[in-house]
């Protein structure tokens, strides 16, 4: 059994957190992860309004008696969602664990801490992590360049970013991006993390709500099957390499660059949602990390987390055997 600052803080058995994913972090998946010993996460903005989030929380609680959390990601948009409404609804329903991400999380973090909640904030740089610490978060999720979605603009891989976090950060952190198995968990722990956050890996589980065709596409993919879009717009996002994402990249490479209006219809969230519902991997943009190269099956969450725990313990035990007394090493 692995006991870390994460398992102690969240009262979970295995130091694995399911990332908050748009259209994916729904009750059936969050509850399955929590029942398996990790921390399941509902994605607030998957729900159309705060009242719908209340109902999703109640549904999750029917499915699990274990702890679960809610993700609220602050998006760069002209018409922002009712973030405060979602936050107040979740707290009113008794949720006490929150994952936050995005710009200007201060007001949300202040509210959650005033209500006695645990806050994990996701960051892609040490500078942003230090800012989040000053805002009072309990834990950080350090997101390396390998991750799905938005990795920031500095292109720093997890190996270096996590080691830098060990040098600089004064509160616990978990590793996010590029992790799919027990070897990744063991590596994260060796780099100073107290657990891991996995998104893409949980997309490809029995309880994931996305179409089986998309799960099959993940299993068939390799680590070269993702691409960055919005690089020229300084809002880089890692997504699955398909017809639409390749078209977006081509538009961005035109002389003079591109405006968001030039790709708006291609990257619409409605099309991305239909990918998961209809099962056509080429219909729209959908996020995936380079970790797809490590995913070769579609197990239940219970099977996956038990495997990760067992593999991590085996790797840690194996590493311990590398250290022998000097006198014995010379024999």
Give the residue-averaged pLDDT of 254-264: 91
Confidence of residue 327 (pLDDT cuts 50, 70, 90): low
- Does some domain include residue 217? no
* Same domain as 274, residue 135: no
Report the C-alpha gap between 147 and 96 in whole angstroms. Answer: 26
* Same domain as 158, residue 105: yes
* Same domain as 189, residue 50: yes
Q: What is the DSSP string of 135-163?
A: HT-SEEEEE-TTSSB---SS---HHHHHH
pTM for this structure?
0.95
Tokens of 170: 């004064």
**pLDDT score of 212:** 98
Q: What is the pLDDT of residues 7-43, one digit of tens each?
A: 999 999 999 999 999 999 999 999 999 999 999 999 9
Which residue range forms the structural domain that includes residue 132? 5-210+297-321
Report the C-alpha gap between 281 and 328 in whole angstroms. Answer: 56
Confidence of residue 329 (pLDDT cuts 50, 70, 90): low
Residue 154 has pLDDT above 70, yes or no: yes
More confident residue, 159 or 331: 159
- Does some domain include residue 205? yes
Q: Which residues contact 31 (CB under 8 A, 6 or more apart)?
A: 40, 60, 63, 64, 68
Alpha-carbon Rg for the chain, nearest whole angstrom, is: 20
Tokens of 228: 């960055």
Q: What is the pLDDT of residues 189-226, one digit of tens each?
A: 999 999 999 999 999 999 999 999 999 999 999 999 99
* Same domain as 66, residue 172: yes
* Same domain as 82, residue 15: yes
Q: What is the pLDDT of residues 45-63, one digit of tens each?
A: 999 999 999 999 999 999 9
User: What average pLDDT does the structure give for the chain?
Assistant: 96
Tokens of 58: 């109640």
What's the domain count of the chain? 2
**pLDDT score of 167:** 97
Tokens of 123: 């960051």
Q: What is the pLDDT of residues 285-310, one digit of tens each?
A: 999 999 999 999 999 999 999 999 99
Q: How far is CA 216 from CA 104, 220, 270, 274, 292, in A?
A: 37, 6, 22, 16, 11
Report the C-alpha gap between 119 and 98 in whole angstroms. Answer: 5
Give the residue-averaged pLDDT of 314-323: 93
* Same domain as 140, residue 70: yes
Percent of the chain past pLDDT 90, that is, above it, reads: 92
CATH code for position 161: 3.20.20.70
* Same domain as 187, residue 44: yes
> Under a CB-based contact definition with an 8 Å cutoff, are residues 60 and 27 in contact?
yes
DSSP H or E stretch at residue 306: helix 301-321
* Same domain as 158, residue 50: yes
């Amino acid at each position: 059994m692995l006991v870390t600052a994460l398992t102690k803080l969240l009262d979970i058995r295995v130091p694995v957190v399911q990332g908050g994913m748009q259209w994916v972090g729904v009750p059936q998946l969050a509850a399955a992860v929590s029942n398996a010993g990790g921390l399941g996460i509902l994605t607030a903005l998957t729900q159309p309004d705060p009242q719908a989030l209340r109902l999703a929380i109640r549904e999750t609680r029917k499915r699990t008696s274990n702890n679960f959390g809610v993700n609220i990601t602050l998006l760069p948009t002209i018409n922002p969602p009712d973030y405060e409404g979602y936050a107040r609804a979740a707290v009113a329903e008794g949720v006490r664990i929150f994952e936050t991400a995005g710009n200007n999380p201060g007001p949300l973090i202040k509210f959650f801490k005033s209500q006695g909640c645990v806050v994990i904030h996701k960051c892609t740089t040490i500078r942003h992590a230090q800012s989040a610490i000053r805002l009072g978060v309990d834990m950080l999720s350090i997101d390396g360049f390998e991750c799905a979605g938005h990795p920031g603009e500095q292109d720093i891989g997890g190996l270096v970013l996590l080691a830098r976090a060990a040098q600089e950060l004064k509160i616990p952190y978990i590793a996010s991006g590029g992790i799919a198995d027990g070897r990744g968990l063991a590596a994260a722990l060796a780099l100073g993390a107290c657990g891991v956050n996995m998104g893409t890996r949980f997309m490809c589980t029995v309880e994931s709500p996305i179409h089986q065709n998309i799960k099959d596409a993940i299993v068939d993919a390799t680590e070269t099957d993702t691409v960055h879009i919005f690089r020229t717009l300084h809002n880089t996002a890692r997504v699955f390499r398909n017809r639409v994402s390749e078209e977006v990249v081509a538009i961005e490479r035109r002389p003079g660059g591109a405006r968001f209006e030039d790709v708006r219809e291609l990257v619409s969230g409605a099309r991305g949602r239909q990918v998961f519902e209809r099962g056509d991997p080429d219909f729209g943009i959908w996020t995936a990390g380079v970790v797809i190269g490590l995913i070769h099956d579609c197990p239940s969450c219970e099977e996956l987390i038990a495997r990760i725990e067992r593999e991590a313990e085996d790797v840690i035990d194996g590493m311990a055997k590398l250290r022998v007394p000097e006198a014995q090493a010379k024999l």
